[in-house]
Amino acid sequence: MARLRGPSTGRALLLAALADLAFGEPPNRLHPVAWFGALVAAVERRAPGGSPARQLLYGAGLAAGGVGLAAGLSWAAARVAERGAWARLLADTVLLKSAFSLRMLAGEAARVQRLLEAGDLPAARRALRALVSRDPSGLDERLAAAAAIESVAENLSDSVVAPLLYAVLGGPGAALAYRAVNTLDAMVGYRGQYEYLGKAAARLDDLLNLAPSRLAALLLVATAGLLGFDVRRAWTTAWRDHGRTASPNAGWPMAAMAGALGRRLEKVDHYTLGDGPAPQPADIARALRLYTGAAALALLLALTLECCRGG
């Protein structure tokens, strides 16, 4: 039986990170997560209406199917990798690269900053659609900057720390399964239309992000200390304000980011994190410094753990 983890996991993590930094995301036609999203969209269109119980059952099957598909891909890759160590390394690298993203988020956030600094608020609002799920059409400059910073902080957990953590715990297959659940939550894990259909995916995503979100907050606090930001305020704000968001997890890294920057991050009628002034566009660059430092620490920690156990 093919193993979930292999001796190439640590090296594959490093190669996947280098590939991401060098090339970014592949086009959607070549991206496994985009394929998975298209499949989910097709299955979602066939979801039953009416009874909440039927929608709950259908949604639970959708979540289980997503995890099963990720496990199947990992099993298939491991079988191919039985041909030799280099095949295993290549398979693990491809799976891991599909599971996390470093460069794309930074590029999109920097684009929002440039547009805001150029005074092109309508274009900045359009660019924000690549980062946030909320409707950005009514955001002013400061709320748009806050939304970009919040996305940077939350995606540190979702797109970097969590995939790395699950790769260390269970190999590329576990990281890919996490990404499947996270994608499902992003697509159908909302209230309203998806109140029952997306409940299983949303709850599973909450569970899987309990540890990564808190680890991401700690990494932001540590990075604040290393880079000369307000480390004390980062910690106290994370501890005080993390429970203000509807999500049990998103508040941790976002509040830590707000404290480190000394800025107030607000989503109108939903939450306010931190007690400083509202952010300016230039604060997005400061947030990206923290994001980059915390992501580097996360990768270093993952590689160290793999090295210590011979991966």
- Asked whether 235 and 96 are in contact (CB, 8 A), the reply is no
Q: Using the CB atoms, write b or e for 29-57: b if 16+ within 10 Å.
A: eeebbbebbeebeeebeebeeeeeeebbe
SS3 29: helix
How confident is the model over 110-122, as a mean pLDDT? Answer: 97
Q: What are φ and ψ of residue 76, in 5° steps?
A: -65, -40
In the prediction, which pLDDT does 121 show? 96
In the prediction, which pLDDT does 168 show? 92
What gap in Å lies between CA 32 and CA 26, rounded to an integer? 9
Which range has the worst mean pLDDT, 59-63, 80-84, 291-295? 80-84
Q: Where are the domains of the chain?
A: 9-308
What gap in Å lies between CA 275 and CA 36, rounded to an integer? 40
How confident is the model over 290-303, as a mean pLDDT? Answer: 96
In the prediction, which pLDDT does 134 show? 84
In the prediction, which pLDDT does 270 show? 92
- Say whether pLDDT at 202 is over 80: yes
Q: Which residue has the higher pLDDT, 25 or 226?
A: 226
- Asked whether 265 and 257 are in contact (CB, 8 A), the reply is yes
192 class by beta-carbon count within 10 Å (0-12 exposed, 13-18 middle, 19+ buried): exposed
In the prediction, which pLDDT does 15 show? 93
- Say whether pLDDT at 190 is over 70: no
What gap in Å lies between CA 250 and CA 155, rounded to an integer? 9
What gap in Å lies between CA 74 and CA 80, rounded to an integer? 10
Residues 6+ apart with CB under 8 A from 160: 100, 101, 102, 216, 294, 295, 298, 299
What gap in Å lies between CA 111 and CA 287, rounded to an integer? 14
Alpha-helix residue ranges (DSSP H) falling in the chain: 9-23, 32-44, 52-81, 85-99, 103-117, 121-128, 141-155, 162-188, 199-208, 210-227, 231-241, 251-261, 282-308
What gap in Å lies between CA 125 and CA 183, rounded to an integer? 23
What gap in Å lies between CA 149 and CA 133, rounded to an integer? 14
pLDDT tens digits, one per residue of 125-184 = 999 998 988 889 999 999 999 999 999 999 999 999 999 999 999 888 889 889 888 888
What gap in Å lies between CA 244 and CA 264, rounded to an integer? 13
Specify the pTM: 0.89
pLDDT tens digits, one per residue of 214-249 = 999 999 999 999 999 999 999 999 999 999 999 999
